[in-house]
Structure 1
């Protein structure tokens, strides 16, 4: 992962590509550029050098080759080519998936998996198109600090492709789609490597990259730049409507756009109806107040419903509940969520999100978050297996209660859970262990993972009497590069001394995953008997800083505008 380094600006990035071109050309000149047997152009040698760190070099060279033949091409053209070719291949993958259909009645699992796959690939294409628009639609001199945003999108793009395949289990459906995604997956991997590796290229050229604390404000406008404040102490990029909202919120004068009440005392009786009233092209926050009550409904905040803020009368009072599950109802994991948030900037406060399928339902999601820069605080998230799905993008949880059994905090996003109560419940009779986390990171250059900071991990009332009879682990690696950090947290006595468990006998992942701890306390926090895996480590304070909200989530740039309490550092 790339942590603790200043976000490399696209301006510097483009200049750097030019430096690489010049270095390669100079080396070639010194090495005898007039050699008649040398038929490779200087531009192509530059492309080869740029593609050297990528996992799929031939695919990288092929994707950038056409640009190299253009003598007037700029470094910006090369950057766009890498993203555009990935987009083109991903669109082809979506076309392949669109040609297949599965009957819901005869094969519900693969039906949900295939439809989910199509949806995820569509999200991936949209993220890449956003990246293209960002790079091509801006003047180079006005762009700064965009690399982190590109990495955020590309991490999600890769995760979407993986999640697409995870939902399919029959070869007759999975194999053709997997085969159709090979080029797109390789190019996404390459794009992640190229964008995230520029800091290392700086080092190789003996150009220092300053730490974040040394970064000086730029005179150019920056995305999410905290130093560019308006007169009201909100950044100039922040929408005027949101500035007014947050000022009112600070003064306790927030007025909801929609009020939901089961007893008819609000504008709507269901949350779905309130969301349906979200105006087209709405600007600023759309606020929904849900009064006390149990709302038995399945909710999705769609991608077009951005900046939704939903709050209730308190966890345990305002409750959204469902019971969709994989084992009994034959519903794909992603589709089991009681509540799902896709539109960016989602905020939830003082609510309970619940899935009552029980341990026999196996995978049964209570809350699925696919919203970038989302914040969930003062909430209860209740379920058994797969309770909280931090699917993609940057997510922050604070003062929450999260309960479950197996892999009940899982996903492929970038999630930090702070100052929360983690409750391990008693699993079903056929489940011999519990695992708190299951991270899905797959690419070393992705920015994803999960961090538990200053949390308290306890056994619930039913598990407590038999807590030593059922093995409980802090986590197990869902994907090969799973990254999980538990720090400054209180760990109860039932946490297994080894701390972590392999995924299964075939996909063990213990030599590639990363599990780290820092300054934990309690009887379960002793690390002398932890797993001897290659990347298990007890961090120093300096190393732990990389996993704080300020640096892991870029939280210094956006958390203060969510209204949630937070700590940026240790």
Structure 2
């Protein structure tokens, strides 16, 4: 109405508009929460009603509610015992059970953090820890379990809203929490059986409770989607910038002249404020919602770099993917667990790297040696160079995008359990050790309810050097629910006609999901591919689920990174 009486201050008008949107948003979220709670309540007791004995019309008890909710989980007994013992009232709403399942998981993982903190340098369950790799694995567990606690806390806070828009985040964070627990256990695979058995046993409840929470959230998500409630109550903010990124920072990222406007400059020749990237990161504000741009000038930086979990919204830009390079050589053969070998490791959310190179120079004889590892949610890599041999790129957890990058390696050189889209990249297998085979991917999905997998779209897959004497495969299933899709990519003729390699034995679990969709080139023929049940033929509709729009739950956070991308097929 102010517009009718002349010019209004632009800032005041923006504030008024923002308040209107906020009120509308709160109203819709509140409405969706009420409707969703009612629908889920009906669904829960609909399940119970189907399974109940004839003529049972009595009021539903706590036991009925817990049984109904736990029926969708993988570990029904642990779900029933943990929730049943924690509920004190005679009746309980389904929403309370969902939140309670997360609290139970959080409590158990928190206890595990304390236990590993007390035992990471001494003995574990009576077994003396002596060698350096085992001690490092204990230290890694402490960190990984701490990350799991963070993600469970985030899911608990978001889950209290009980609205449609949080489900994708909840699934992502709970999937990541489960990944952290399994990564902790994997650190002991080559250690004494007594230690590994003790670790698995101690983390059993943590693993099962986290999986149960994920199953429940996934079930709600599917139920509401099937009922089309998302479409009816969707929020009208699809064109808004992400809340975590102020508009002025988004405009900055979309410009080409980022280097002149950087907040921090790193240069080996002393022309910047810091000579080491690690020193620059120490001066990034903790948990800042403001983008911090770090310009890394041309040079090779010999250091292991970590973007810690408290360093949010960091953007690192170099002078080119082969000009600004981070290089180190930690490796498994010399006693470092795979998780700790990364030359460059990212834990702080909303990280962006542009025109940077990441290298592990340990060589093929050192086996696992990671160049780049990312556990951060909503990470974007644009025009980056990732180079090592075995385990080059560790897409560990959460949501990630790689666009116009060059990725080099030999054995399982794109691996992990994130939801990752690799788009318009050059994937370059190179010469491994004598007697080794090349496998491009090794995806680590351990739970059918995890929303994770590797999606390779519109990439060029070609050899780096002469690989005529080497068998090269598209991937092998690291875990029972391994999920990998190649879409609209070009494959040269060095790809083995069988396409895929078993992890062990002669076949793969029926539970994996592997697919090839509209790929081209002499190596793309599927005529002689392995005859696994888990190797699927998919439609355009199914393939679209592995695009940025379908797999990474939208593209708003990617557009803010200033990198070009294609959101669908």
Shared fold (TM-score greater than 0.5)?
A: yes
What's the offset of the Cα at 1:397? 0.2
Is 1:173 aligned to residue 173 of structure 2? no
The residue correspondences of 1:182-201 to structure 2 (distance < 5 A) are: 182-201=204-223
| Structure 1 Cα separation of the partners of residues 266 and 81 of structure 2 | 55
2:271 is the alignment partner of 1:265: yes
Corresponding residue of 1:58: 77
Alignment coverage as a number of residue pairs = 531
Q: For residue 316 of structure 1, what is the aligned residue in structure 2? A: 322
Deviation at 1:529, TM superposition (A): 0.6
What's the secondary structure of 2:332's corresponding residue?
coil
Question: Are 2:56 and 1:33 equivalent residues in the alignment?
Answer: yes
Q: What are the within-5 Å matches in structure 2 for residues 40-119 of structure 1?
A: 42-66=61-85, 69-71=88-90, 73-102=92-121, 106-119=130-143
Q: TM-score, normalised by structure 2?
A: 0.88
Which residue is 2:41 aligned to? 18
Matched, 1:163 2:183: yes
- Secondary structure of residue in 1 paired with 2:536: strand
Could you say which residue in structure 1 is the equivalent of 2:18?
Answer: none
Cα distance, 1:177 vs structure 2: 2.0
Alpha-carbon displacement from aligned partner over 1:350-405 (angstroms, at most 9, x marks no partner): 01101111111110000001110000010100000000000000000000000000
C-alpha change, 1:432 and 1:246, in structure 2 (3 Å) is same
Query: Corresponding residue for 1:150?
Result: 170
Deviations 1:108-153 (A, max 9, x none): 22122111111101110111112222233x4x5xx44111111101
1:445 is aligned to 2:427: no
Look up the SS of the partner of 1:524 in the other structure. Answer: coil
* Pairing 1:353-372 to 2, within 5 Å after superposition: 353-372=358-377
Describe the shift of the 1:105–1:293 C-alpha distance in structure 2 as closer, same or farther (beyond 3 A): farther
Which whole-Å deviations, capped at 9, do the CAs of 1:154-195 have from their partners, x for residues lacking one? 101111111101001222322222111111111112111111
Does the 8 Å CA contact 1:368/1:391 hold for their aligned counterparts?
A: yes
User: Are the equivalent residues in 2 in contact too, given 1:408–1:435 (CA < 8 A)?
Assistant: yes
2:356 maps to which of 346, 351, 357 = 351
Is the contact made by 1:25 and 1:42 (CA closer than 8 Å) also made in structure 2?
no
List aligned pairs for 1:473-484, cutoff 5 A.
Answer: 473-484=473-484
Bigger mean CA offset, 315-324 vs 85-94? 85-94
2:407 pairs with 399, 402, 409, which one?
Answer: 402
1:306 partnered with 2:330: no
3-state SS, counterpart of residue 389 of structure 1: strand
Name the stretch that deviates more: 419-428 or 125-134: 125-134
1:422 maps to which of 418, 427, 450: 427
CA distance in 1, matches of 2:39, 2:164: 14
> Aligned partners of 2:193 and 2:262: how far apart in 1?
49
Separation (CA, whole Å) in 2 of partners of 1:517 and 1:10: 39
Q: Which runs of 5+ in 2 are unaligned?
A: 1-28, 123-127
Counting only pairs closer than 5 Å after superposition, residues 211-226 of structure 1 correspond to structure 2 as 217-218=234-235, 225-226=237-238
TM-score by length of structure 1 reads 0.88
Q: Which moved more, 1:368-377 or 1:20-29?
A: 20-29
- Aligned-residue offset at 1:253: 5.0
For 1:99 and 1:160, the matched residues in 2 are separated by 19
Match of 1:456 in 2: 460
Would you say the 8 A contact 2:329–2:369 is kept in 1?
A: yes
Aligned equivalents of 2:203 and 2:221: distance in 1? Answer: 29
Partner Cα separation in structure 2 for residue 315 and residue 348 of structure 1: 10
Contact 1:96 1:177 in 2 (8 A): no
Partner of 1:555, secondary structure, is coil
- Conserved 8 A contact 2:254-2:561: no
User: In structure 2, what is the equivalent of residue 222 of structure 1?
Assistant: none
Q: Which has the higher contact order (CA 8 A, sep 6+)?
A: 1
Measure the CA separation in 2 of the matches of 1:30 and 1:108.
Answer: 58
CA distance in 2, matches of 1:284, 1:480: 40
1:447 to 1:293, Cα distance in 2 relative to 1, 3 A: same
- Corresponding residue to 1:289 among 288, 291, 295: 295
Cα distance in 1 for partners of 2:89, 2:517 equals: 52
1:373 aligns with: 378
Cα deviation, 1:508-529, whole Å, max 9, x if unaligned, reads 6342221101010111000011
Residue 439 (structure 2) aligns with: 435
Contact preservation (8 Å) 2:171, 2:450: yes
Distance 1:281 1:445, change over 3 A: closer
The structure-2 alpha-carbon separation of the partners of 1:544 and 1:108, relative to structure 1 and needing over 3 Å to count, comes to: same
**Mind listing any 5+ residue stretches in structure 1 that lack a counterpart?**
1-6, 220-224
2:7 aligns with: none
Q: Tell me how far 1:41 sits from its aligned partner.
A: 5.2
